[in-house]
Amino acid sequence: MPPSGQSTSTASQSVEDYLTVLQTERRLSDHTLKAYRRDLTKLVSFFDQRGILLWQGINSHNVRLFAASLNASGLSASSIKRTLSSGRGLANFLIRNGTLKHNPFDDVRAPKGEKRLPKTLSVDQVVSLVELDVNDPLSYRDKAMLELFYSSGLRLSELCGINLNDLDLSESMLRVRGKGSKERDLPIGKQANDAIRNWLLQRNALPIKDYQALFISKLGSRISTRNVQARVKYWAKRQGVEINVSPHMLRHSFASHVLESSGELRAVQELLGHSNISTTQIYTHLDFQHLAQVYDDAHPRAHSTTPTKVKSDTKNNDE
C-alpha cells in the first residue's frame, strides 16, 4: 500500500487546482463549486483508503468499483452520474497538464435512473401564493419576489443577484446573469412589474446597506438564497398552499404553464436560459421581440389587472 498522506496531499492539490480553473475560466457559482468539491472529495477518499496511487493508479476497473460503492451507499443514479462527471472533468484537466495519459472515466457509465418530471403548481395554486395581503416593506418585497419568480422563470441565484440597474420597468424588461455569468433579457409581466414598483416605494424604509441590490433583507444587505427559500415556504403555508413549495418549483411552473399555452418549446428554452437540455429541441436563438410576444400571448399573469390587496393587520417575520 502506498503512503496515504503523500498521495492524498498530491490528489487534494490537483482538486484545488481544478476548482480554481472552474472558478476563473468557467466562472461557476459558489454553489456549483461546492458540489464539485464534495464529489471530488469522495473520489479522493475512496482511492486513498484503498491504497490506490493517485492519479496514475486509477483505471476504469477502479472507477467502476468507485461507482459501485456510491450505488451501495444509496446515492441516487443522478447523483452518481454527477459525481462521475466531476471525476471525468478532473481527469481531463490532469491530461492537459500531463499528469494523466488517458481518462479512466471515459468507459464508465452511471446507472440509469427513472426520469422524474419536476413538480409544478397549478395556475390556481400560483395565484393563491402570489396574491398576498401586503402592509409593510417586507411583505411588499416578498410579493415582488414571488411575482417575479413566476413572471420570468428565474433561478434562485438569478433573483438574488438582480441589481436595480438590471431593470427597465418602462419596457417591462429585466436583464439577468445565469449560469456561467451568461446574460439574457427577460420580459416582466404586469403583475410583477406593479409589485416591483410598489416594493421600490417601500424599499427606503429599510436600513439600506447594499444600494445596488433590488431585493434586500430587513437588515439592508442583499437578500440571501436561504432567506428567499424561507420566505417562499412561509408564504406558501400562510396562503394555504398545501405542498412543499420552493423557488425552483415556481420556475418549473412558469415553464410548464407557458409551454402548455403556447407550444413554443424553443422560446421557453430561451426564457429559462438553457443552452442545451436533452428534453427540448436544439437551441435556436430567438430575438427579444419574439420572446416578449410569446410571453404576452401565453403567460397567465402577463395582462392581469387584479389590484394588489392591502391589509393593515398582517405581520410576518423576515426568516
- Catalytically active residues, by annotation: 155, 179, 248, 251, 274, 283
Q: Cite the DSSP H helix spans in 273-317.
A: 288-298
Whether residue 29 contacts residue 71, with contact meaning beta carbons closer than 8 Å, is answered with: no
Give the H or E element holding residue 184. Answer: strand 183-187
Torsion sign, CA atoms 80, 82, 84, 86: negative
Alpha carbons 121 and 151: distance in angstroms, whole number: 14
Q: Which cell numbers in the block locate residue 31?
A: 454553489
Integer angstrom CA distances of residue 199 from 53, 157, 173, 195, 292:
58, 20, 17, 6, 24
Q: What is the DSSP track for 108-136? A: --PPP----PPP---HHHHHHHH--EE-S
Alpha carbons 64 and 104: distance in angstroms, whole number: 10
Strand partners, 310: 134
Could you tell me how many residues make up the chain?
319
Alpha carbons 53 and 65: distance in angstroms, whole number: 15
